[in-house]
C-alpha cells in the first residue's frame, strides 16, 4: 500500500460485532481460547463487541420479555472489549439496523457483523478485516462454496437475473459494511423482517457499491424462501425502471441527475426540439443541473447563461451563476433573453407562483439583444403530471409512495395536473402558447430496443389520453408585460 493509504489505515477503527440471539437472553458458551487468538491476529485499532438480545422469534410469546429480563445471563468472551445486553424483545433485523446506526455514531470505518454461533466466526472476522485494509471494499458478503446449500431454485435464479448485479445473490448473507456505504443509503428504511439483509444488499447494488465475497461454512447459509427473494428483487427492478419507486433505494449522494438529452421522448429532448425550432440567440437556463441541456444549446451556436443552486465544475457552462431560487434574487434580468428554460424546477419550489410573478415583474433595465422578440422572452417549462395513471392507481389503493426520482420525488414540494398548471400560469400573467404531454422516458431506465418500444407505446397513449398517460407536461408560454414595461414606457 502507498504511504497515504498506510496513514489512513492507522486512523481507521474497525468494529467486529458478534451477534448472539439467545432464548431467554442466555448467551451461547464460546470457545474462549480460539477466540482470543483471533482477537490478537486482527491487529491494532480493532474493537470486538459481543451483543446479546432476546429474539422474539425464539421467545415466541412477547409477554415473556419481562420474565426473561430477570433470567438474562451473559457469558463473557474474555477477548472482547465490550459486552452489550439489549433489553426487551427484538428481531435480528432490528439489531442489525441498531448496530449500523451505532457504528456511524461511533465513527467506525468498518462494521463486521457475524453470528457468534458460527464455528469459524473469529477466523472469518480476521479475514474480512485484513481484506478491507488492502481493498477498501464497501460491502462484504458471505457465501457457501457448496452451491446446493441453500438450493439454487428457479425463483432464486430469476431474482438474480432481475437485479443484474454481478456480485448479488439472494442466498448470500451480510458480513461487513463500510461507513461510506452506510452514509450513502437509508439503511434504517429496510424491512425489520428476515428480508433485512437482502434489502441492505440491494441498496448496495443500487449505489454500485464495491462488493467482496467471503467463503463461509454451511452453518451461515441464508434460509430464505425463493418467493421472498423474488418479491424484493422485483420491487428493486421496478424501482430502477421508475415504475414502482421506494425510498429504500435512494442514493443519498448529490449526483442524482442523468443525461436525458438523447433519450427518446424525454422532456429534455422535447425541450431541445422546441429550442431548435425557435433558434433563439440568447438562452437563460434556470436550474441547469449538471448542464446537459445548456451544453446542447451551446453546441447549436446559442449564447447560454446558466443558473443553479449548486456549483457546476464544467468550465464550458460559463457564464454560470449560483443562486437559490427560494431565497435569492435572479442574478440577471430574464427579459434580456430570447428564451428561458425552466426544466423540472417549479415542483421544487415552495411558492412557484411568487417566483413566476417576480420573474415577470423584474423591473431592472432590460438590455434587449439585437434580434430579440419585442413581445418578451419565450418560457419553456416542464413539470411532472401528478394525475399520471400509476399515481392515480396508488391513491386508489391508499398509497402515496415517495421515491428517489420521478413524479413523487421526495424533494418535490408542489405538484400539478394539466388544468392546475394552466390556471397557475394564467394567474401569474403568462400566455400559454402550447401544452404538450411528455410520456414516461423508458429508454432512460431500459436502454436499447425494449426501452425505445415502451417509450413509443407510452408516447402514443399520451396522445390518446394526455391527462392520464402524460408523465410530464411541457409548456411553451410567454410572460405578459410586467413592471419592466411600465418602467421603460416613460410618461409622468
Determine contact, residues 16/39, Cβ cutoff 8 Å: no
Q: What is the DSSP letter of 406?
A: S
Domain 267-488 has CATH 1.10.3720.10: no
What strands, in cross-sheet order, belong to the sheet with 139-143? Answer: 82-90, 46-55, 14-21, 110-115, 173-178, 139-143, 211-215
Mean pLDDT to the nearest integer, 159-165: 85
The pLDDT value recorded for residue 218 is 61
- The pLDDT of residue 118 is above 50: yes
Quote the pLDDT of residue 224: 66
Q: How far is CA 387 from CA 23, 294, 454, 471, 474, in A?
A: 51, 29, 20, 8, 15
Q: How far apart are CA 252 and CA 349, in angstroms?
A: 20
DSSP state of 30: P
Residue 108 has pLDDT above 90, yes or no: yes
**What gap in Å lies between CA 299 and CA 461, rounded to an integer?**
33
Torsional sign, CA 425, 426, 429, 430: positive
- At a CB cut-off of 8 Å and minimum separation 6, what does 289 contact? 257, 308
Mean pLDDT of 455-475: 94
In the predicted model, is pLDDT for residue 82 greater than 70? Answer: yes
* CA-wise closest residue to 51 among 24, 9, 16, 101: 16
Q: Can you tell me the distance from the alpha carbon of 120 to that of 217, in angstroms, rounded to the nearest whole number?
A: 8
Q: How far is 471 from 391, CA to CA, in rounded Å?
A: 10
Helical ranges in 120-266 per DSSP H: 121-135, 154-163, 179-184, 196-206, 226-240
Q: Which residues contact 473 (CB under 8 A, 6 or more apart)?
A: 382, 383, 384, 385, 416, 418, 421, 435, 436, 437, 438
Residue boundaries of the structural domains of the chain: 3-249, 267-488
Q: Are 357 and 429 in contact (CB under 8 A)?
A: yes
Q: In which residue are the cell numbers 448485479 written?
A: 165
pLDDT at 150 over 70: no
d(CA 330, CA 285): 12
Q: Out of 159-168, 366-375, 426-435, give the one with best mean pLDDT.
A: 426-435
* Grid coordinates of 293: 441541456
pLDDT level of residue 86 (50, 70, 90 thresholds): confident
Q: What is the pLDDT of residues 376-419, one digit of tens each?
A: 899 999 999 999 999 999 899 998 888 777 898 888 999 999 99
Cell 460485532 sits on residue: 17
Name the range with the highest mean pLDDT among 78-82, 259-263, 427-431, 448-452.
427-431
Separation between Cα atoms, residue 349 and residue 354, nearest integer Å: 10
Contact partners, residue 409, CB within 8 Å, separation at least 6: 347, 384, 402, 403
Which of 125, 133, 106 has the alpha carbon at shortest distance from 7? 133
Is the domain spanning 3-249 CATH 3.90.550? The answer is yes
Q: CA 304 to CA 318: how far, in whole Å? A: 8
Helix (H/G/I), strand (E/B), else coil: 109: coil
> For the whole model, what pTM was predicted?
0.72
Residue 113, pLDDT above cutoff 60: yes
Query: Which pLDDT score, from 0 to 100, does residue 1 have?
Result: 39
Calculate what percentage of the chain has a pLDDT beyond 90.
Answer: 46
Q: Could you report the per-residue pLDDT of 414-453, keeping only the tens digit for each?
A: 999 999 999 999 999 999 999 999 999 888 777 788 888 9
Cα-Cα end-to-end distance for the chain? 78
Give the bridge partners for 299, in sequence order.
Answer: none
Residue 343 confidence (pLDDT):
96
Q: What SS3 state is found at 410?
A: coil
Q: Under a CB-based contact definition with an 8 Å cutoff, are residues 211 and 139 in contact? A: yes
What is residue 248's predicted lDDT score, i.e. its pLDDT? 85
Amino acid at each position: 500500500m502507498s504511504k497515504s493509504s498506510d496513514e489512513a489505515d492507522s486512523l481507521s477503527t474497525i468494529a467486529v460485532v458478534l451477534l448472539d440471539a439467545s432464548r431467554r437472553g442466555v448467551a451461547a458458551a464460546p470457545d474462549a481460547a480460539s477466540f482470543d487468538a483471533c482477537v490478537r491476529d486482527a491487529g491494532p485499532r480493532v474493537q470486538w463487541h459481543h451483543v446479546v438480545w432476546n429474539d422474539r422469534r425464539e421467545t415466541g410469546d412477547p409477554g415473556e420479555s419481562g420474565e426473561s429480563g430477570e433470567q438474562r445471563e451473559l457469558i463473557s468472551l474474555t477477548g472482547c472489549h465490550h459486552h452489550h445486553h439489549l433489553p426487551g424483545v427484538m428481531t435480528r433485523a432490528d439489531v442489525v439496523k441498531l448496530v449500523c446506526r451505532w457504528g456511524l455514531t461511533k465513527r467506525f470505518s468498518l462494521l463486521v457483523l457475524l453470528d457468534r454461533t458460527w464455528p469459524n466466526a473469529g477466523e472469518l472476522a480476521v479475514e474480512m478485516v485484513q481484506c478491507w485494509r488492502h481493498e477498501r471494499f464497501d460491502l462484504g458478503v458471505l457465501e457457501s462454496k457448496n452451491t446446493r446449500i441453500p438450493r439454487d431454485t428457479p425463483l432464486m435464479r430469476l431474482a438474480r437475473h432481475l437485479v443484474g448485479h454481478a456480485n448479488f445473490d439472494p442466498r448470500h448473507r451480510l458480513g461487513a459494511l463500510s461507513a461510506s456505504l452506510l452514509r450513502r443509503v437509508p439503511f434504517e428504511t429496510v424491512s425489520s423482517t428476515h428480508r433485512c439483509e437482502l434489502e441492505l444488499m440491494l441498496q448496495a447494488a443500487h449505489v454500485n457499491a464495491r462488493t467482496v465475497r467471503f467463503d463461509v461454512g454451511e452453518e451461515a447459509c441464508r434460509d430464505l424462501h425463493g418467493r421472498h427473494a423474488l418479491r424484493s428483487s422485483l420491487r428493486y427492478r421496478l424501482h430502477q425502471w421508475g415504475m414502482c419507486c421506494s425510498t429504500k433505494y435512494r442514493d443519498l449522494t448529490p449526483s442524482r441527475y442523468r443525461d436525458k438529452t438523447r433519450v427518446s421522448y424525454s422532456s429534455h429532448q422535447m425541450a431541445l426540439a422546441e429550442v431548435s425550432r425557435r433558434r433563439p440567440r440568447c438562452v437563460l437556463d434556470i436550474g441547469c443541473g449538471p448542464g446537459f441541456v445548456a451544453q446542447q444549446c451551446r453546441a447549436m451556436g446559442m449564447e447560454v447563461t446558466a443558473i443553479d443552486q449548486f456549483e457546476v465544475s464544467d468550465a464550458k457552462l460559463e457564464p454560470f451563476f449560483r443562486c437559490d431560487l427560494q431565497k435569492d434574487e435572479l442574478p440577471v434580468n430574464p427579459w434580456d433573453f430570447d428564451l428561458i428554460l425552466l426544466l423540472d424546477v417549479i415542483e421544487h419550489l415552495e411558492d412557484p407562483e411568487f417566483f413566476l410573478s417576480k420573474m415577470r415583474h423584474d423591473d431592472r433595465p432590460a438590455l434587449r439583444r439585437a434580434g430579440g422578440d419585442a413581445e418578451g422572452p419565450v418560457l419553456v417549462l416542464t413539470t411532472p403530471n401528478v394525475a399520471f395513471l400509476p399515481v392515480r392507481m396508488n391513491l386508489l389503493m391508499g398509497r402515496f409512495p415517495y421515491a428517489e426520482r420521478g413524479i413523487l420525488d421526495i424533494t418535490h414540494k408542489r405538484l400539478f395536473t394539466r388544468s392546475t398548471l394552466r390556471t397557475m400560469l394564467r394567474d401569474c400573467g403568462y400566455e400559454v402558447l402550447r401544452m404538450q404531454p411528455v410520456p414516461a422516458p423508458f429508454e432512460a431506465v431500459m436502454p436499447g430496443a425494449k426501452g425505445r418500444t415502451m417509450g413509443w407505446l407510452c408516447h402514443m397513449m399520451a396522445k390518446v389520453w394526455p391527462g392520464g398517460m402524460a408523465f410530464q407536461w411541457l409548456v411553451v408560454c410567454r410572460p405578459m408585460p410586467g413592471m419592466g414595461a411600465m418602467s421603460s414606457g416613460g410618461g409622468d
